[in-house]
Chains A and B, each alone.
Chain A
Amino acid sequence: MTPVVHPITLLFASVFTSNILLANFLGMCSFISISKDQKSSFGLGLAVTVVMTITMVVSWAVLKLVIEPLGLEYLSFIIFIIVIAAIVQILEMLIDRLSPALYLALGIFLPLITVNCAILGAILFMQIRNYNFWQALSFGFGSGVGWWLAIMLLSSIRKKIDAAPVPAGLKGAGITVITIGFMAMAFIGFSGMLNVQ
């Protein structure tokens, strides 16, 4: 059993020391492709944060109220994916109606998040680490913010890289992956301070 981590600690841990992107390398595809544009990165980061927080709480409820009492752990992947897909659909409709400005900012990214592995990954971490409600909430929100932070950092760095004399063979994805490696090392440097793995 993992020692019980205070939700506030967990929040900081999931943003900085156990960043879902840079420590676990989840959600890489959109991370690499979208980070070439700062504005889109902002929208996607925001969308991931909103979706991650809400799906985490709902999945926690489904896990504790349905999956665990009925002993259906072997179906949890399927159930979580259905939950994520449905919540993204509902969120899209709500945001479209309530805040057209936010809807336009999120643009096509909201539906794309359905297939973002960071979301499912975080939910599965929540399951295997057996978080309680407040831990799940802070871990979901923290992981989202951590993802957002990472993509904003990378998109800013890539803006600088655009102007740098990168060898031809490393342009684009090559230098980006190397950059992500450095970023991950920097983040992992803090992992001794708080460890929730």
Chain B
Amino acid sequence: MSPLLLGPLVVGLISSVLALVISITDRIVNDYGEVNIDINGGKKILTVKGGSPLLGTLAFQNIFVPSACGGRGSCGACKVRVLSDVGPHLPTELPYLNSEEVARNVRLSCQIKVKKNIAIELPEALFNVRKFKTTVERIRNLTYDIKEVYLRLSDEAIAAGGISFTPGQYAQLVVPPYGDVKESVQRAYSMSSTPQDKEHVEFLIRLVPGGIATTWVHQYLIEGDPVEVVGPFGEFFVRDTDATMIFVAGGSGMAPFKSIVNHMAQTGQWTNREIWYFFGARSRRDMFYLDEMADLERRFPNFHFVPALSEPKPEDAWTGPVGLITNVLDSYFKEKIGKDKPMEGYLCGSPGMIDACVKVMTANGISQDKIYYDKFA
């Protein structure tokens, strides 16, 4: 036989034999039989096939623990408290856990394997989380770098009742491999649609240069494309009190508040509460939904929308408040809102904006535990 053929043939043969040995070993060695997952002290007991990571095993049972990286141990989001013994923490988990979490045996569910019966603790809300198949119904430019993405759920999902969530919660967009991105990732975005629209979900997505998900949405996604969405998640929703609500957002941080105020308009809920919504942008070209918000302001006397520009251009002809959103917020506290009443703060935006606004809010009499936010880095 020609040596030209013999070489590749032998390498191929050796690789196949080794691959066969690996798969046979895998079949024999990784057969852990059926094991039970006890969730929240017996509230739910799942019988599953053992041997796989906890995250994937739960997802197979339609319980979706939040995860941004899809189980590769690079985001640290899929934390789950494990009550039974699954061995010490792995070096791949420790960078994502603080000492308190280690002491409580919080684990990264993508890193620990289900090999025997295991008891875990999950927030009840996760049982409501589903994976939805959707198609893009509409993509609209809100500004030069923010798109409004309106997705329609699959007919099966709609027949099963559609999506239920609380305004302010977020969902994860499953980004498939595209271009140079070889692996699927998930990214969290607040839903800007309202729970009344059970057949659709909407996201506002700002282009982050180099961002995997945002580049995909802005440069690859077109109407009619299939998209998978996992949700709802999150503790960011309107608390059931009578306190005055102060919303602060910037850019695509509009999303949860759009959902909240439209929910208010559609159901009449919270219309008796005083609401101040501060929305910051750099110049007029970063500003959107002004007409929609002005309309809501006219219809609901307790709702006040305060758009502010930090660097208005001369051609913007801007007559509204000017300055960093923190300064505008501070002056409104002192001049219009007042201090001597119960208040709650709701924030959505960059970590820097949130930290700065929390300082202004606490200085103006809102206690730290009454300020709510989801920090999306």
Q: Which of A71, A78, A107 contacts B3 (CB 8 A)?
A: A71
Report whether A66 and B22 are in contact in the complex, using a CB–CB cutoff of 8 Å. no
| Complex interface residues of chain B between 82 and 103 (CB less than 8 A to chain A) | 87-88, 90-92
In the complex, what distance in Å separates the CA atom of A131 from the CA atom of B97? 49
Q: In this assembly, does A94 line the interface, its C-beta being within 8 Å of a C-beta of chain B? A: yes
Closest Cβ of chain A to B22, distance in Å, is 5
In the complex, what distance in Å separates the CA atom of A90 from the CA atom of B92? 21
Q: In this assembly, does B47 line the interface, its C-beta being within 8 Å of a C-beta of chain A? A: no
Say whether, besides A93-B25, A94-B25, A82 and B10 are in contact (CB < 8 Å): no
| Complex interface residues of chain B between 8 and 36 (CB less than 8 A to chain A) | 10-11, 14-15, 18-19, 21-22, 25-26, 29-30
Q: Which of B26, B29, B91 contacts A108 (CB 8 A)?
A: B91
Contacting residues, chain B, for A72 (C-beta < 8 A): 6-7, 10
Contacting residues, chain B, for A96 (C-beta < 8 A): 29
A 92-112 binary contact with B (CB < 8 Å = 1; else 0): 011011001000100110000
Q: In this assembly, does A83 line the interface, its C-beta being within 8 Å of a C-beta of chain B? A: yes
Q: Which of A66, A70, A71, A82 contacts B15 (CB 8 A)?
A: A82
| Complex interface residues of chain A between 46 and 75 (CB less than 8 A to chain B) | 62, 66, 70-72, 74-75
Q: Which of A66, A82, A100, A104 contacts B18 (CB 8 A)?
A: A82
Report, as a range, how many residues of chain B touch the other chain: 20 to 34
Contacting residues, chain A, for B22 (C-beta < 8 A): 86, 89-90, 93
Q: In this assembly, does A32 line the interface, its C-beta being within 8 Å of a C-beta of chain B? A: no
Q: Quick one: closest A residue to B26, CB to CB?
A: A93
Say whether, besides A62-B14, A97-B29, A107 and B7 are in contact (CB < 8 Å): no
Closest Cβ of chain A to B30, distance in Å, is 6
Closest Cβ of chain A to B1, distance in Å, is 9
Closest Cβ of chain B to A133, distance in Å, is 19
Q: Which of A74, A90, A107 contacts B90 (CB 8 A)?
A: A107
Say whether, besides A104-B87, A104-B88, A108-B90, A75 and B7 are in contact (CB < 8 Å): yes
Shortest 8 CB-CB contacts between residues of A and residues of B: A86-B18, A97-B29, A93-B29, A90-B25, A75-B7, A89-B22, A108-B91, A93-B25
Interface residues of A (CB under 8 A from B): 62, 66, 70-72, 74-75, 78-79, 82-83, 86, 89-90, 93-94, 96-97, 100, 104, 107-108
